[in-house]
Structure 1
């Protein structure tokens, strides 16, 4: 198996072009190579602010929209969010363990942030996607040191595919 990107578009604020998915897949491959990840699946969903607000409130207890949420499949049962997956007929448990997790991006937040930061929407979406992917792998930014590590990795991957500020 190789590393794959599965995606859904659950919003109508922005058309999702094939070129964007190709760019995000390049970012995924670059980030995975940097981290030594050779196989698995990342599920990406594009949503609007209303949908991500609901998810942020439900799973994080924060009553406002955010730009990106990540839900790692390897979270332990005592963590904040427990997910139960039911096997469908003929489906093997191993098939589910190949999924690294879900990344959910608000295209409305991404668009506003790209304008605020003065860079392209593609760069912002790429940044949010790599940020989400690193969260799936266990990276966090709770303190200055861990934030610097995570930011450095994000910028290195973005630069590798030409998404610089």
Structure 2
């Protein structure tokens, strides 16, 4: 997987950037998400001001949030019937934006480490890119149970 991690805040350590990559790679194996080797995605860490702008411009919600995912793939795209692998093109599944301010405040609020919250939000965004959501109560229970399982299996418990 080609995973670009960008820290626009310059506040993450190298080990925290590696944590982002490691959690995504682990999750892909743990839930058996079969991503081609040349799959591309990005994770960008921003502050509350920047994520508020992104949230306002793309979701019409004028407030800071903790994580936003932009999936580039949908179940089907009308009018397009081709296989990226056949064309020799990488599969880009999307982009994740994480607010470092929310990582810090939510880690304190939930009484766990900064790294655990960073991993949780990274994983949350990654699952969204792979079709999981929490629009219904049933979906929310499934997604959050899966997140807890993956983080526990990874070794990051609350």
TM-score range, shorter chain: 0.7 to 0.9
Q: Does 1:109 align with 2:105?
A: no
Residues of 1 paired with 2:137 and 2:45: CA distance? Answer: 29
Deviation sequence 1:62-93 (CA, Å, 0-9, x none): 11000000001104679xxxxxxxxxxxxxx7
Q: Does 1:157 align with 2:155?
A: no
> What's the TM-score, normalizing by structure 1?
0.82
Q: Does 1:30 align with 2:37?
A: no
Residues of 2 paired with 1:45 and 1:94: CA distance? Answer: 26
How large is the Cα RMSD of the aligned pairs?
1.8
**Secondary structure class of the residue paired with 1:44:** strand
Residues of 2 paired with 1:107 and 1:147: CA distance? Answer: 24
Q: 2:15 aligns with which of 14, 19, 22?
A: 19
Pair 1:144–1:21, CA change in 2 (3 A): same
Deviation sequence 1:80-136 (CA, Å, 0-9, x none): xxxxxxxxxxxxx754x5111100000001100000000001000100000000000
Give the count of matched residue pairs: 146
> What's the TM-score, normalizing by structure 2?
0.85
